[in-house]
Amino acid sequence: MNEYNDITILDAVERYIRGEMNPDERLHFENLRKTNGEIDQLVVEHTLFLQQMNRFSEWQKFKNTIHNVHSELADKGEIKDGLKSKAKIVYLWNKYKRVTAIAASIAGITALTISILIWSVSPTHSNADYAKLSRVVYANEVKQDIIKQNVNDLMYNTPDVKKQKGVFINYKTAATGFLIDPKGLMITNAHVVKQSENIKVFNSKGDQFNAFVVQLDISRDVAIIKIDDPKFKSFGSLPYGIRKSTSELAEPIFTLGFPREEIVYGEGYLSARTGYNGDTLSCQIAIPANPGNSGGPVFNHEGEVIGILTGKQTEADDVVFAIQSKYIYQAVDNVKKNPIYQNVKITSKSTNLAGLSKQQQVKKIEDCVFMVKGD
Amino acid sequence: MKQENNEKILLQGLARNDKKAVETIYRDNYGMVQALIINNNGSTDDARDVFQEAMIVLYEKARSGTFELHCQIKTYMYSVSRRLWLKKLQQTKRFTTDFGNPDSVVPVEDDLEDHLKRDQEFGMMEKAILGLGEPCKSLLEAFYIEKKNMQEIAADFGYTNAENAKTQKYKCLMRLKKIFFSHYKNGTQ
């Protein structure tokens, strides 16, 4: 019954709001509304609700309309619902360009990280390289200093680029020398002996002999010295000959020298027929060479002297230069102008060494190779 | 002058939910908005959603009666669509810098604020009606949206008479009003 009343009241309220009441009924209801607060409240509330419902229904209808219009226009082809291929590419690019950018960044970072990792995981290798390099540089600086000092003190006036670039190995007090005749004439580095009043040469057994300078060729950094010591016993003949002609490319070679207090053997090959900056009196060889090796003899496999080791290019690995042995003949011819040395004879014959093993060759040669020290 | 009149007629039609007017506005503006959305990280679906929402904003503006469009419909649609899409991009945090042509827009922030509020209310109503379930949903929609009378409803829904339909409608209405007003109060507080 109560519910029935409520339904009747609500029905009346709705009819009132919609203006569906006849004038009498309406007047009656308005009186009721004035006297009954509850009814009045219900009218206000329901009006609000119905307004909202109306607007909602129109909103829904409009949504339906635009939805239908969209479908119809798309069907008629008046608007483009699908994407044309170009638009699709633009759309896909726009949609994924950030992803692409991020992916590219990640790839870049990953590559960098891997590089850094590899770099940091292999530190020993790179450090070793680095240390080696700096050692070379240090040695080079020392060399340059020595050369400068030489220039200042003694007008050591080498015109070529060698000393400016510091490419030659010079050792302040010691170099290598070797006999070119059985009576004690030998070839060594010019810079070791030129400023020295006293020159000492040491053989591989440690015996030492006094020597003096016979001739200096400062431009080639080669000196001819003579052992002048009663202890020195003349050789009957030298085990090796000195080659007159240019050697062949790729010819196997070896050298003996004193990069330390001990005689050291090294081997390699002839790598170019000319020397530094195309110098035709020199040649390029590949051989382990260290300070102290310069002035040493370069032998071919038959035991012929083919050159005098002079220095190496520090900017490049395994680039060592030697003066070709034919130069020795020129130098000795010069020396022979002095009547004292007019009987000096050097030979290209190496009867004793050809065909022997390296060990046997070296055994015979080593007595003729000396460490030269100048003060 | 002619164009202004045309636009006025179009807007009046739009306010009445006149299909012809809706179609004309739709046809004249859809391509422009679609291009804007697609060139700024949107899909065709995004373009349709944004355009239709902009249409609703325009519809509400036209219906408000006080509406005087100080610019062309095209400019208004562009401004609203741009704003709506910018907002959506900011929400999804995909792309937050400005885009489009800021010179060719008119201020629409107030209109959009009104629209957002209404949208929430209608959305809530829609949800409430859906939540009623059948037969309440259809019954109330038939009476309040399709505006059918009780005799028709009784016949459609198979009630023996209008009184039974009325009773059923009353019960459904009470449930809906309860939901509506609880939301309404929460919404307005």
What pLDDT does residue B187 have?
A: 52
The HSE-up count of residue B27 (CA atoms within 13 Å, CB side) is 14
**Chain A contact for B27, CB < 8 A?**
yes
Of B55, B63, B180, the CB nearest to A66: B55
Q: Quick check: helix, strand or coil at residue B18?
A: coil
Cβ within 8 Å, pair B52-A55: no
Pair of tokens at residue B184 = 């309404």
Can you tell me the mean pLDDT for B16-24? 85
A228-282 tens-digit pLDDT: 888 888 888 888 888 888 888 888 999 998 888 888 899 899 988 888 777 888 8
Instruction: Give phi and psi for A227, each to the nearest 5.
Output: -75, 130
CB atoms within 10 A of CB A266: 19
Contact of A266 with A255, CB cutoff 8 Å? yes
Cβ within 8 Å, pair A66-B44: no
Place of tokens 């011819």: A333
Separation CA A279–CA A221 (nearest Å) = 14
Cβ within 8 Å, pair B34-A80: yes
**Chain A contact for B149, CB < 8 A?**
no
Q: Predicted ipTM?
A: 0.82
Least confident of A51-60, A76-85, B6-15, B165-174: A76-85
Chain A residues whose CB is inside 8 A of the B121 CB are: 52, 56
Separation CA A227–CA B139 (nearest Å) = 133
Strand A252-257, strand A297-300: pairing: antiparallel
A83-120 tens-digit pLDDT: 554 556 666 666 677 788 888 888 889 999 988 888 88
Rounded to 10 deg, the angle between the B162-188 and B109-132 helix axes is: 140
Q: Is the pLDDT of residue A5 over 50?
A: yes
What pLDDT does residue A369 have?
A: 92
Cβ within 8 Å, pair B43-A70: no
Can you tell me the mean pLDDT for B56-71? 76
**Chain A contact for B173, CB < 8 A?**
yes
Chain A residues whose CB is inside 8 A of the B139 CB are: none
Q: Is the pLDDT of residue A178 over 90?
A: yes
Closest chain B C-alpha to A108 CA, distance in angstroms: 22
Cβ within 8 Å, pair B17-A45: no
What pLDDT does residue A172 have?
A: 57
Q: Model confidence at A298, in pLDDT bands (50, 70, 90)?
A: very high
Pair of tokens at residue B143 = 């009476």
Separation CA A176–CA A201 (nearest Å) = 9
What pLDDT does residue A131 have?
A: 29
Mean pLDDT of chain A: 77
Sequence-distant (6+) residues with CB within 8 A of B73 are B7, B10, B11, B25, B28, B29, B58
Residue by residue, DSSP assigns B118-173 as: HHHHHHHHHHHHHHH-TTHHHHHIIIIIS---HHHHHHHHT-SSHHHHHHHHHHHH
**Chain A contact for B144, CB < 8 A?**
yes
Rounded to 10 deg, the angle between the A123-154 and A85-121 helix axes is: 70
Cβ within 8 Å, pair B177-A49: yes
Which is higher by pLDDT, A17 or A124?
A17
Q: Model confidence at A356, in pLDDT bands (50, 70, 90)?
A: confident
Which is higher by pLDDT, A286 or A1?
A286
Can you tell me the mean pLDDT for A56-69? 86
Cβ within 8 Å, pair B26-A73: yes
Q: Pinpoint the alpha helices (H) of chain A.
A: 2-17, 23-35, 37-76, 85-121, 123-154, 161-165, 190-193, 326-336, 358-365
Nearest CA in chain A to B150: A11
Chain A residues whose CB is inside 8 A of the B10 CB are: none
Cβ within 8 Å, pair B48-A60: no
Contact of A293 with A192, CB cutoff 8 Å? no
What is the percent of chain A where pLDDT is above 70?
A: 80
Chain A residues whose CB is inside 8 A of the B94 CB are: 98
Closest chain B C-alpha to A46 CA, distance in angstroms: 9
Closest chain A C-alpha to B153 CA, distance in angstroms: 15
Reported as type and span, the H/E element at residue B46 is: helix B44-63
DSSP summary character for residue A247: P
Can you tell me the mean pLDDT for B97-121? 75
Mean pLDDT of chain B: 79
Q: Model confidence at A153, in pLDDT bands (50, 70, 90)?
A: very low
Closest chain B C-alpha to A131 CA, distance in angstroms: 52
Q: Is the pLDDT of residue A163 over 50?
A: no
**Chain A contact for B117, CB < 8 A?**
no
Least confident of A18-22, B91-95, B154-158, B167-171: B91-95
Least confident of A138-142, A182-186, A259-263: A138-142
Paired residues of A223 in beta bridges:
A188, A216
| Cα separations in angstroms, B33 against A147, B40, B43, B52 | 82, 11, 12, 10
Least confident of A16-20, A287-291, B101-105: B101-105
Rg for chain A, CA atoms, rounded = 52
One-letter amino acid identity for A53?
A: M
Of B40, B42, B170, the CB nearest to A10: B170
Least confident of A12-21, B97-106, B152-161: B97-106
What pLDDT does residue B149 have?
A: 79
Q: Is the pLDDT of residue A167 over 80?
A: no
- With left for phi above 0 and alpha for psi between -120 and 50, is residue A19 left, alpha or beta? left
Cβ within 8 Å, pair B27-A73: yes
Closest chain A C-alpha to B70 CA, distance in angstroms: 24
CB atoms within 10 A of CB B177: 17
Chain B residues whose CB is inside 8 A of the A72 CB are: 23
Of B130, B124, B133, B174, residue with least CA distance to A45:
B174
Paired residues of A201 in beta bridges:
A209, A372
Q: Which residues of A touch B (CB under 8 A)?
A: 3, 6-7, 10-11, 45, 49-50, 52-63, 65-70, 72-73, 78-83, 87, 90-91, 94-95, 98
Of A62, A42, A39, residue with least CA distance to A50:
A42
Separation CA B105–CA B113 (nearest Å) = 17
What pLDDT does residue A122 have?
A: 66
**Chain A contact for B127, CB < 8 A?**
no
| Burial (0-12, 13-18, 19+ Cβ within 10 Å), B164 | middle
Q: Model confidence at A171, in pLDDT bands (50, 70, 90)?
A: very low
Q: Model confidence at A197, in pLDDT bands (50, 70, 90)?
A: confident
What pLDDT does residue A156 have?
A: 41
Q: Model confidence at A132, in pLDDT bands (50, 70, 90)?
A: very low
What is the percent of chain B where pLDDT is above 70?
A: 85
**Chain A contact for B130, CB < 8 A?**
no
Sequence-distant (6+) residues with CB within 8 A of A91 are A83, B38, B42, B43, B44
Separation CA A88–CA A80 (nearest Å) = 12
Nearest CA in chain B to A74: B27
Least confident of A28-37, B88-97, B114-123: B88-97
Q: Is the pLDDT of residue A149 over 60?
A: no
Separation CA A360–CA A352 (nearest Å) = 10
Query: Which of A75-79, A175-179, B173-177 is modeled with the greatest confidence?
Result: A175-179
Least confident of A135-144, A258-267, A292-301, A364-373: A135-144
Separation CA A163–CA A152 (nearest Å) = 13
Can you tell me the mean pLDDT for A200-209? 87
**Chain A contact for B56, CB < 8 A?**
yes
